[in-house]
């Protein structure tokens, strides 16, 4: 008789877990087989630095898609820039959101001629190439006004485009207001990156119940995560980040990722590498 009690005790939690992590199942076919250049197909030199118009031009001309990051300036302009501050890329320890777009132009990227571009300028440069837009939530995790501001530009883009974020609340906004937009959750095996109470829910994709993401973008190094593999089996596309060499990309392929976000190499060389 004890067995009759043990089975429900196992089945019910498993069912709840699967319900929580269940993804959406929308096709990501427009992105199939198109390598995605991380912050554009950028160089280590100021010639085409990350998230610059030159880097996105190189990606389009090479036939790649592009991943990029958007956030607000002080005057609520949408700019393409990854970090919260200008320190790493522009040499000034100033938050991006504390400066107007005009003020940001005084800070060249990596000391070269490139300046931080508007989201609208980048989309015009990409001109129909596949785009993965990461929504940054610097300042307030609960503020989804970035989504609302980005929507008209996303909707007007003439090529394949999708959104992704580490913040499930951003994706939930799209699920509620514009479910037609493909959306993906960014995740990893969290350790010190977030508060202890959030590490398991975010690592295990338990917030998928809020967002029902069409794809899961997971760190390649953590690519054996159970929730990731189950989401794949339940129909979600999976995107590995970030492949910094052909060996990384080959490892991602061996782990079952459908595509990768790459940088620092040309993915045309993938066939010459073997997984380590």
pLDDT tens per residue, range 101-114:
999 999 999 999 99
Annotate 131-156 with three-state secondary structure.
EEEEECCCCCCCCCHHHHHHHHHHHH
Query: What number of other Cβ atoms are within 10 A of residue 246's Cβ?
Result: 19
**Torsion from C-alpha of 119, 122, 123, 127, nearest 10 degrees:** 170
Residue that is written with structure tokens 């005009």 in the block: 102
On the question of pLDDT at 5 being above 90, the answer is: no
Is residue 116 within 8 Å of 80, Cβ to Cβ?
Answer: yes
How distant is the alpha carbon of residue 166 from its chain centre? 8
Is residue 154 within 8 Å of 184, Cβ to Cβ?
Answer: no
C-alpha 262/C-alpha 82 separation (Å) is 15
Query: What number of other Cβ atoms are within 10 A of residue 253's Cβ?
Result: 18
pTM: 0.93
**Torsion from C-alpha of 52, 57, 58, 60, nearest 10 degrees:** 130
On the question of pLDDT at 269 being above 90, the answer is: no
């Amino acid at each position: 008789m004890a067995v009759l009690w043990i089975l429900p005790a196992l089945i019910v939690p498993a069912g709840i877990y699967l319900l929580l992590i269940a993804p959406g199942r929308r096709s990501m076919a427009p992105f199939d087989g198109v390598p995605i250049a991380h912050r554009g197909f950028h160089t280590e030199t100021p010639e085409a630095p990350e998230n610059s118009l030159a880097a996105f031009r190189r990606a389009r001309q090479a036939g790649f898609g592009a991943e990029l990051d958007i956030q607000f300036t002080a005057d609520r302009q949408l700019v393409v820039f990854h970090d919260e501050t200008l320190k790493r890329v522009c040499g000034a320890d100033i938050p991006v959101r504390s400066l107007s777009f005009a003020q940001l132009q005084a800070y060249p990227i990596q000391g070269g001629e490139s300046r931080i571009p508007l989201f609208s300028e980048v989309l015009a440069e990409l001109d129909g190439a596949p785009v993965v837009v990461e929504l940054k939530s610097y300042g307030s995790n609960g503020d989804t006004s970035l989504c609302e501001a980005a929507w008209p530009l996303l909707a007007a883009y003439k090529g394949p485009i999708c959104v992704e974020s580490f913040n499930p609340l951003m994706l939930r906004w799209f699920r509620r207001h514009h479910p037609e937009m493909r959306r993906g959750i960014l995740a990893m095996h969290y350790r010190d990156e977030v508060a202890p109470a959030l590490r398991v829910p975010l690592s295990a994709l338990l917030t998928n119940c809020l967002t029902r993401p069409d794809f899961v973008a997971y760190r390649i190094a953590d690519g054996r995560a159970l929730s990731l593999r189950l989401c794949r089996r339940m129909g979600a596309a999976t995107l590995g980040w970030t492949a910094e060499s052909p060996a990384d990309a080959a490892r991602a392929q061996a782990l079952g990722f459908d595509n990768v976000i790459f940088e620092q190499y040309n993915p045309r060389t993938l066939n010459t590498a073997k997984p380590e």
